[in-house]
């Protein structure tokens, strides 16, 4: 078997996500590469939740619309998803609550027999599922013992009882002779990349889909050596981050579009005061509250043009967990090297999906900023050839370290003199050329697929995974810019030259990357846009691309 896709569905409170995580770990343990997609409404109880676990012999970074097996903890899971089932697929269901054709096991009865909690039906489901997949019991037992923290013995009894009730395996999933890789979410990869680049302090007000960064860093605060702070608002978050940076702490903040809207005044303060600042903006559908627990790529234009006034910034857009790790580390180092705000632009699909993770941790390490050498009189905003002024921090008895939101002279003293204003504006903007030179040392644009193809799928961020598989299937070329500000125009022109058809693929309603490129005379021939708050799946995108191919 080359791959399998499994959907687990039920209502909020049924432990669907936990069951999906256990299944992902189980298939990972026998050597498969994993992609895990989680779909849930913004409800604590009720509604409909489902997770899709796709396991493959090869690396994958997207899920498919169609699945091979449905695990149904309630009737909705059958009614809403039976149309997804591939020919020959199986429905495994709780026979006490669901009416379906397939493999029925009384999960509810098993849990009652062992006097377990209702949520433990998910454990019974995973036990039965392991038998349906012909996975040996000791493998599941070890996964559960390694990952469960509470009532392990009871859960094992429930899982084994359900396992033993399945008479015959339905789909044999053989063990692969491949290295077992860690399973990491996009948000966890962002957190780890920042830590690897020297993060001291993470400040955030919880906002889906970025909240898990705060939870992860707070949970591992002592191990990672990071202070986590949850202030009263996003305005407080941004201002605390600037104050911490002024004092010398390498800080990062995380939010989504609505929260970032509240941070934009502080962003301009970062530009004027030249405070290093890393911002994770994990996109979700807007405007307003929008659809809090779903995905969109609708904030690209907002982030690139955010903040009043003119100042340098960097916007990086990872497309998978490894890129999230590397690019967050790069953002941290660039922010401190150039004393500017740097963005990691994610979305729900990247942030909350789980990937098989294979990154070289040694590729990310903290780089020292330009520090004052202690010679002569300290000028916080010294006008240098490249626009970067040496840093000193409060507590240094030899330096007066000013910080201001007003226009200022080299010392940081407010000025309204025209020549001084122009001089300092030029000084700050001079960083841009040095920044572009620095970014040219890094991979700014990736190319995949058939390099000789005259048809290009242009994508950014989390659409990458589906685009790569579509390109492999249809013999096309994929171009993915990692840096969106400052946009790497010449590298993009180079990889797009000779194309007969450029198809822009985005999860937004207006084609924001296409607009950005058109401003630089790069013309897009066709656009495939999805804006129903769901990501592109591989099989749906293949059909969409076929419709527009010349």
Mean pLDDT, to the nearest integer, of 32-42?
Answer: 96
Q: How many CA atoms lie within 13 A of 448 on its CB side?
A: 20
Radius of gyration for the chain, computed over Cα atoms and rounded to the nearest angstrom: 25
Position 97 scores a pLDDT of 95
Q: Which residues contact 180 (CB under 8 A, 6 or more apart)?
A: 28, 29, 31
Tens of pLDDT, residues 404-430: 999 999 999 999 999 999 999 999 999
C-alpha 239/C-alpha 269 separation (Å) is: 9
pLDDT in tens, 120-145: 999 999 999 999 999 999 999 999 99
And the tokens for 6? Answer: 């499994």
Banded model confidence at residue 537, pLDDT cuts 50, 70, 90: very high
Q: Say if residue 46's pLDDT is above 80.
A: no
pLDDT at 1 over 80: no
Give the span between the Cα atoms of 307 and 304, in whole angstroms. 9
Class (C level, CATH) for 3-165 = alpha beta
Which three-class secondary structure string do you get for 241-296? HHHHHHCCCCEEEEECHHHHHHHHHHHHHHHHHCCCEEEEEEECCCCCCCCCCCCC
Q: What does the mean pLDDT of the chain come to? A: 96
Looking at CATH, the fold of the domain delimited by 183-363 is given as Rossmann fold (3.40.50)
The CA distance from 440 to 105, in Å, is 58
- What is the average per-residue pLDDT within 96-115? 95
CATH number of 445-548: 3.40.50.920
CA angle 480, 483, 485 (to 5 degrees): 130
Identify the pLDDT of residue 82.
Answer: 95
* Residue 43 predicted with pLDDT over 90: no
What percent of the chain has pLDDT above 90? 97
For 293-343, the pLDDT digits (tens) are 999 999 999 999 999 999 999 999 999 999 999 999 999 999 999 999 999
pLDDT digits (tens, 9 = 90+) for 210-236: 999 999 999 999 999 999 999 999 999
* Distance in angstroms (rounded) separating the CA atoms of residues 421 and 398: 27
pLDDT in tens, 465-499: 999 999 999 999 999 999 999 999 999 999 999 99
What pLDDT score was predicted for residue 186?
A: 98
Round to whole Å and give the CA distance between 55 and 59.
9
Tokens of 150: 């509470």
> pLDDT tens, 223-275?
999 999 999 999 999 999 999 999 999 999 999 999 999 999 999 999 999 99
Pairwise CA distance, residues 347 & 338, whole Å: 26
pLDDT at position 149 is 85
pLDDT of residue 45: 75
Q: Give the tens place of pLDDT for each residue, 526-536.
A: 999 999 999 99
Q: In whole angstroms, give the CA distance from residue 449 to residue 439.
A: 24
Residue-level pLDDT at 175: 95
Instruction: Show the DSSP H helices in 359-486 as ranges.
Output: 418-429, 431-439, 464-474
Angle CA 58–283–27, to nearest 5: 25
Q: Pick from 277, 121, 91: which is nearest to 199 by CA?
A: 277
Beta carbons of 321 and 256 less than 8 angstroms apart:
no
Q: What is the pLDDT of residue 315?
A: 98
> Higher model confidence: residue 275 or residue 170?
275
pLDDT for 550: 82
Same fold for the pair 183-363 and 445-548: yes
pLDDT digits (tens, 9 = 90+) for 143-152: 999 988 889 9
Positive/negative CA dihedral, 494, 495, 497, 502: negative
Number of Cβ within 10 Å of residue 377's Cβ equals 10
User: Domain coordinates of the chain in residue numbers?
Assistant: 3-165, 183-363, 370-442, 445-548
Q: How confident is the model at residue 44 (pLDDT cuts 50, 70, 90)?
A: confident
């Amino acid at each position: 078997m080359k791959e399998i896709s499994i959907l687990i569905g039920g209502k909020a409170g049924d432990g669907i996500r936990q069951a999906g995580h256990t299944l992902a770990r189980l298939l990972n343990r026998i050597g498969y590469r994993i992609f895990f997609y989680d779909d849930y409404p913004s409800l604590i109880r009720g509604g409909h939740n489902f997770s899709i676990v796709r396991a493959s012999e090869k690396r994958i970074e997207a899920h498919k619309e169609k699945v091979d097996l449905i695990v149904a903890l309630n009737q909705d899971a059958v009614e809403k998803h039976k149309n997804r089932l591939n020919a020959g697929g199986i429905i495994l269901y709780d026979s006490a609550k669901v009416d379906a054709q397939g493999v029925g096991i009384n999960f509810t009865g098993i849990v009652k027999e062992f006097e377990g909690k209702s949520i433990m039906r998910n454990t019974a489901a995973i036990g039965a599922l392991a038998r349906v997949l012909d996975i040996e019991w000791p493998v599941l037992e070890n996964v559960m013992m390694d990952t469960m923290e509470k009532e392990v013995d009871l859960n094992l009894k429930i899982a084994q009882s359900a396992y033993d009730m399945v008479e015959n395996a339905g789909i044999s999933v053989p063990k692969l002779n491949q290295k077992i890789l860690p399973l990491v979410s996009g948000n966890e990869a962002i957190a780890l990349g920042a830590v690897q680049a020297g993060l001291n302090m993470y400040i955030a007000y919880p906002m889906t889909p970025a909240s898990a960064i705060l939870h992860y860093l707070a949970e591992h605060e002592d191990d990672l050596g990071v202070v986590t702070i949850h202030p009263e608002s996003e305005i407080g978050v941004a201002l605390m981050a600037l104050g911490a940076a002024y004092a010398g702490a390498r800080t990062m903040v995380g939010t989504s579009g609505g929260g970032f809207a509240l941070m934009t005044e502080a962003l301009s303060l970062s530009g004027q005061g030249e405070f290093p600042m890393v911002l994770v903006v994990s996109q979700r559908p807007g405007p307003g509250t929008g659809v809090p627990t779903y995905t969109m790529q609708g904030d690209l234009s907002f982030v690139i043009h955010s903040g009043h006034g003119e100042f340098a910034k960097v916007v990086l857009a990872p497309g998978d967990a490894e890129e999230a790790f590397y690019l967050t580390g790069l953002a941290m180092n660039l922010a401190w090297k150039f004393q500017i705000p740097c963005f990691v632009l994610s979305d729900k699909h990247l942030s909350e999906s789980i990937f098989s993770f294979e990154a070289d941790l040694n590729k990310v390490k903290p780089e020292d900023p330009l520090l004052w050498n202690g010679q002569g009189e300290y000028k916080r905003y010294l006008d240098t050839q490249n626009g970067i002024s040496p840093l000193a921090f409060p507590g240094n008895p030899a330096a007066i370290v000013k910080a201001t939101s007003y226009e200022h002279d080299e010392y940081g003293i407010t000025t309204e003199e025209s020549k001084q204003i122009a001089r300092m504006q030029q000084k700050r903007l001079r960083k841009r050329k040095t920044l572009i030179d620095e970014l040219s040392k890094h991979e700014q644009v990736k190319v995949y697929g058939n390099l000789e193809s005259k048809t290009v799928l242009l994508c950014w961020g989390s659409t990458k995974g589906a685009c790569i598989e579509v390109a492999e299937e249809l013999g096309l070329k994929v171009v993915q810019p990692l840096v969106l500000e400052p946009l790497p125009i010449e590298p993009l022109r180079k990889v797009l030259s000779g194309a007969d058809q450029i198809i822009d693929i985005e999860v937004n309603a207006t084609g924001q990357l296409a607009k950005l490129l058109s401003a630089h005379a790069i013309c897009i021939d066709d656009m495939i846009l999805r804006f129903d708050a769901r990501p592109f799946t591989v099989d749906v995108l293949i059909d969409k691309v076929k419709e527009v191919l010349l």
